[in-house]
Each structure stands twice: as structure tokens, then as C-alpha cells.
A = this chain, B = another copy of it.
Amino acid sequence: MSGKLFVIGLGPGSPDQVTPQANAAVAAARWFYGYKPYLERLDLRPDQTKIASDNREELSRASEALARAAEGETVAIVSGGDPGVFAMAAAVCEAIEAGPAEWKSVEIEVVPGVTAMLAVAARIGAPLGHDFCAISLSDNLKPWEVVEQRLEAATRAGFVIALYNPISRARPWQLGKALDLLRAVLPSATPVIFGRAAGRPDERIEIVALAEASAEKADMATCVIIGSPETRTIPRDGLSPLVYTPRSLATR
């Protein structure tokens, strides 16, 4: 008697950026698990129930949802952005691997969404227009030395770098340290984009040179994009500048 678990990406925040697939999955489920701000985006029917949990309780949330689905229920876990990018899909897989055998019989449907870096990039041009990487700056789940090694490897590779989870109350210094490390190896004019709440009414997108980038410009809801040495800015009269990374190395 196995049920189904949807792992749903609600996109960056605007209802305009939620896919029909995500809306259909929401309509199909009866129980909803997630971090409270994501659950608050849902407009549910009386027969649907929300169960909120804190944003550092991914594994217990995944386990509760799987236990419920294993009883035959149709269950949803919701994430902002895409559930596969620093979000709930990996936590669900971890819980399945470590959990009781019956959790392996639960049908899993991961519903992809527009992840934060894509939404932020779209608001200013095409900073991810060439090879790039995405790194979580959280050292809750990996040692800080690994973050530093990855940042260094990313700059050696010439990648544009999208930083997720840049800062939180419990992790106040990591972004500043990362920016210092990047300043030591990248040109000081490299564009840095602080993209907060892209597409939402409280959106704030700021472009600064790496030399002026500081951690205070970010909060928990910010995705930070660091240009590569190829990334360019086009000033425009009366319009905001465009920031983009050319598709080509050879023609420059």
C-alpha cells in the first residue's frame, strides 16, 4: 500500500514562474510538507493540510513525508526554486536510502522549477551565458576548506560562479571570506550580482564591481553571481545595464 511523494519546485517566487506541472502536483496532493515561507505560497483546499518545519530540518521533514506516503497517501514536499538544486530532492533520496524498506516502494515525482540563479540572471542580461558553476556557501554540511578549494578551482576553470545559501545568522562571515578569496584572484572590475527575491514584489537586484562587493548586500534570500574574467557590462541610457558572459572565448 504505497502512496506517492511529489517533490515540487515552486520557482523563485512569482506565481508567473510556477509551471503547470507544479500546479497540477499541488492539486493532486493531500499533505504538504515544507519550510513555512514556501508553504505560505500555496492556496490550498479545505481537504489539504500543511505541515511546516524549520529550514534546517530537511532530513526529518523528508522522513515524515515518506512515512506518510508509505501509508498510501499522496504527499508533497515543496521547495522554492528547483527542488534538485540545494533543496529537498537530495534530502528525500538520503532519507529513502537510510530508511525502512517500504520507503523504496513510494513513487517519487520530482517536479523541476526555475532555480534562483536563472531568475536572477534573466533580470540583468545573461551572466550565465557561458560555462558556470553553482556552489552552496553553507559549511553546515561540508567543511569550509572544501568551499575554499571549490571556489579556487572554479576561478582556475574560468567559470562564472553562482553562490547559493550565501549568508545566515548562524553563518555570518563565510560570504565575506569568499569575496576576499575571489578578490585575490579575479580582476577587481569583475561584475558581482546580488539578486534577492527575483520576480517578487520585494525584488532587489544590485550589480557592483568585485572590489566593492561586501557581504552586507546579501541575506538568506539572495543568490550571488560572480562574473568570470570574460563577463561584460553594457551601460544603457535610461535603461539598467546589461551584464553578460559571451558565448565565445575565441572571438574576443
A contact residues vs B (CB 8 Å cutoff)? 11, 14-21, 24, 58, 82-86, 89-94, 96-97, 104-105, 107-108, 110-115, 118-119, 121-123, 125-136, 141-143, 146, 149-150, 153-154, 156-159, 199, 232, 234, 236-239, 242, 244-251
Are the CB atoms of A141 and B247 closer together than 8 Å? Answer: yes
Closest to A142 in B: B249
Q: Which residues of B contact A132 (CB under 8 A)?
A: 133-134
Are the CB atoms of A112 and B114 closer together than 8 Å? Answer: yes
Closest to A161 in B: B133
Task: Report which of B17, B112, B127, B251 forms a contact with A118, defined as CB distance below 8 A.
Answer: B112
Q: Which residues of B contact A111 (CB under 8 A)?
A: 122
Q: Which residues of B contact A135 (CB under 8 A)?
A: 131
Q: Which residues of B contact A16 (CB under 8 A)?
A: 19-21, 24
In the assembled complex, the Cα of A107 lies from the Cα of B150 at a distance in Å of 37
Are the CB atoms of A247 and B107 closer together than 8 Å? Answer: no
In the assembled complex, the Cα of A22 lies from the Cα of B82 at a distance in Å of 17
Closest to A104 in B: B236
Are the CB atoms of A249 and B85 closer together than 8 Å? Answer: no
Chain B min CB distance to A251 (Å): 7
In the assembled complex, the Cα of A93 lies from the Cα of B97 at a distance in Å of 45
Q: Knowing A113-B114, A122-B110 touch, does A93 contact B129 (C-beta < 8 A)?
A: yes
Closest to A109 in B: B122
Q: Knowing A96-B234, A234-B93 touch, does A153 contact B143 (C-beta < 8 A)?
A: no
Task: Report 8 cross-chain contacts, Cβ distance below 8 Å, ordered by A residue.
Answer: A17-B21, A89-B129, A94-B244, A113-B114, A132-B133, A132-B134, A133-B157, A150-B158
Task: Report which of B108, B122, B133, B247 forms a contact with A94, defined as CB distance below 8 A.
Answer: B247
Are the CB atoms of B126 and A96 closer together than 8 Å? Answer: no
Are the CB atoms of B19 and A89 closer together than 8 Å? Answer: no
Closest to A135 in B: B131
Are the CB atoms of A130 and B89 closer together than 8 Å? Answer: no
Q: Which residues of B contact A119 (CB under 8 A)?
A: 112
In the assembled complex, the Cα of A20 lies from the Cα of B17 at a distance in Å of 6
Are the CB atoms of A20 and B18 closer together than 8 Å? Answer: yes
Interface centre among A83, A122, A149, A153 (most CB of B within 10 A): A122
Task: Report which of B21, B93, B97, B134 forms a contact with A133, defined as CB distance below 8 A.
Answer: B134
In the assembled complex, the Cα of A247 lies from the Cα of B143 at a distance in Å of 12
Are the CB atoms of A156 and B153 closer together than 8 Å? Answer: yes
